[in-house]
Amino acid sequence: MKEKTARGKVYLVGAGPGDMGLLTVKGLRCLQKADVVVYDFHLNAQILNYIKKDAEFVYAGKRGGHHEMTQDEINATLVQKALEGKRVCRLKGGDPFVFGRGGEEAQVLAREGIEFEVVPGISSAIAVPAYAGIPLTHREYASSFVVLPGNEASTKGESSIDWGFLAAQKGTIVFLMAVKNIRQVTEKLISHGKPPDTPVAVIRWGTRADQRTVVSTLGEVSEAVANHVIRPPAVVVIGDVVRLREQLNWYERKPLFGQRILITRPYTEEYEPLEDLGAEIIEFPTIEVVPPEDYNDLDRAIDEIHNYDWIVFTSAKGVEFFFRRYFDLERDIRDLKGIRICAVGPKTAGAIREYGIKVDLVPESFRAEGLIDAFGGEDSVKGLRILLPRAEVAREVFPERIRELGGRIDVPVTYRAVRPERHAKRLQRFLKEGRITIATFTSGATFTNLCEMLEDDVAELLRDVTIVAIGPVTKREIEKRGLKVHVVPARATIEDMVNSIIEYFTSPQNGCHT
């Protein structure tokens, strides 16, 4: 008898209005364990980087009136995937139950007997005004607020909105999806008695790096929207609380507000200071770190580990892949007794200490001569036997110098950096539209791989972008394409690169490049 497939479960998850940090912890957890993700257009695509690699992506985007999938098709997909026994994440911008049709999707699932769970998201109705410095309620200005759909303002057909009641309210009025009908909205409110000088704010792409806010009055806002070319998505806030924006506008005053920074390696917490200062990070890794094609050299070195005087680790990845193989071979950490450990950089040292291993040396200089000085100088190198587990492609300056001075050094390939298989169409569109303002490269490979992935004139795409290289070698690789490198830190670390970006964009001579 054929075994019956267990039913799956659907999570209706609100992704928030755009800022990655506004995705809830529970929403992220649901996303990470999903087998299928059905997602919309109006959400930060960076969220998709947290989906497990073998998950199925289903784009149900709705943009500018164009629907990739009809609502019936979306409903059918949720049901079908759940009946296949899969965990499905229906990822929606904002909150699923605030003008998001999440209630309709939940009804379909309930009728089909499919288990579902709703994970609320932060609605743009609340978050976007807050990021524009506009509190929806304030003891001296408004004690209530109402949220309405602006697409009901059309003069044709019936509307469920009681315009007379709405115009008489002293609280704050928030319209979503109202930009196209902004003239009808304002005319209806004024015709029902709302004063034309009532303050109004229109906020486009709220909580994002390209947030734009136009402040006007009820009588003049439709003209202001046309003059500033404000298009959807935007939130309209009507009421006296708009007057507080001048005092409370915190987000748009951040030093790096308006900067959208491309990072071509996986995101780490070292990039957080950029976000704290108002920048938005676009993560598009152009290298993927994988094990070596064969372990022969590394296994030989591990078998002879007791013969080395020093092990030199040059990166946290080198530490991770070395010890992964070390323990796969069932070696004991006690076998390292008597071997001294050198870590190039504090992050590498931290990665080593996580294994309970003492770091004997962290050189001040990351260059070959600096490392040799840290070992005690040229006269101390002769006779030393050194293990340098490293990437497949790496500079030979240090190993060659050690051999010249009479030392022995083995450099087994411990990991490889390869170009990941991923589409770059969205990034290409962002570059063409000028929505990337800064591009960072942490190696020559991150840059050359990007060139291959974009399949376009990279020099033209990056012409107006501030380019940051982690060091001189990376800088030279970029300059071969005829591009100017604007920022190079003194030390080749992510932390120093981030600090250099902050210094460059906040220094008096450069000003804030927004």
d(CA 197, CA 184): 16
Could you list the pLDDT tens digit for every one of the 514 residues in the chain?
444 457 899 999 999 999 999 999 999 999 999 999 999 877 887 888 888 888 999 988 765 555 578 999 999 999 999 999 999 999 999 999 999 899 999 999 999 999 999 999 999 999 999 999 999 999 999 999 999 998 876 545 567 899 999 999 899 999 999 999 999 999 999 999 999 999 999 999 999 999 999 999 999 999 999 999 999 999 999 999 999 999 999 999 999 999 999 999 989 899 999 999 999 999 999 998 899 999 999 999 999 999 999 999 988 999 999 999 999 999 999 999 999 999 988 889 999 999 999 999 888 666 666 677 777 777 778 888 999 999 887 778 888 888 888 889 999 999 998 888 877 888 998 999 999 999 999 999 999 999 999 877 888 999 999 999 999 989 999 999 999 999 999 988 899 999 999 999 998 766 544 4
In this predicted structure, what is the pLDDT of residue 513? 44
d(CA 217, CA 198): 5
Residue 497 catalytic?
no
Least Cα distance to 388 among 487, 447, 456, 308 occurs for: 308
Tokens 């019956």 -> residue: 4
Catalytic residue among 62, 254, 317, 347: 62
Rounded-to-10 torsion of CA 369, 373, 374, 380? 120
Take residue 364 and report the two structure tokens written for it.
């001040």
Q: Which domains are present in the chain?
A: 9-122 (3.40.1010.10), 126-248 (3.30.950.10), 260-287+420-506 (3.40.50.10090), 290-418 (3.40.50.10090)
Residue 115 burial (CB count, 10 A): 12
In this predicted structure, what is the pLDDT of residue 208? 94
Residues 116-127: b if buried by 16+ CB within 10 A, e if exposed: bebbbbbbbbbb
For helices 444-454 and 425-432, give the axis angle rounded to 10 degrees.
90
Element (H, E) at 505: helix 494-506
Residue 1 catalytic?
no
In this predicted structure, what is the pLDDT of residue 394? 76
Least Cα distance to 470 among 252, 313, 212, 265 occurs for: 265
In this predicted structure, what is the pLDDT of residue 381? 80
Take residue 239 and report the two structure tokens written for it.
């009421």
Least Cα distance to 183 among 207, 216, 206 occurs for: 216
Does residue 233 have a cis bond before it (omega within 30 degrees)?
Answer: yes
Catalytic residue among 81, 86, 95, 177: 177
d(CA 502, CA 497): 9
Catalytic residue among 9, 19, 20, 40: 40
> Amino acid identity, residue 513?
H
Tokens 């006296």 -> residue: 240
Take residue 223 and report the two structure tokens written for it.
């003209």
Angstrom distances, CA of residue 164 to CA of 28, 161, 191, 199, 241:
42, 9, 9, 18, 21
d(CA 367, CA 491): 10
Rounded-to-10 torsion of CA 64, 68, 72, 76? -150
Q: Which residues contact 172 (CB under 8 A, 6 or more apart)?
A: 136, 137, 141, 142, 144, 145, 146, 237, 238, 239, 241
In this predicted structure, what is the pLDDT of residue 425? 84
d(CA 51, CA 34): 7
CB 427 within 8 A of CB 49: no
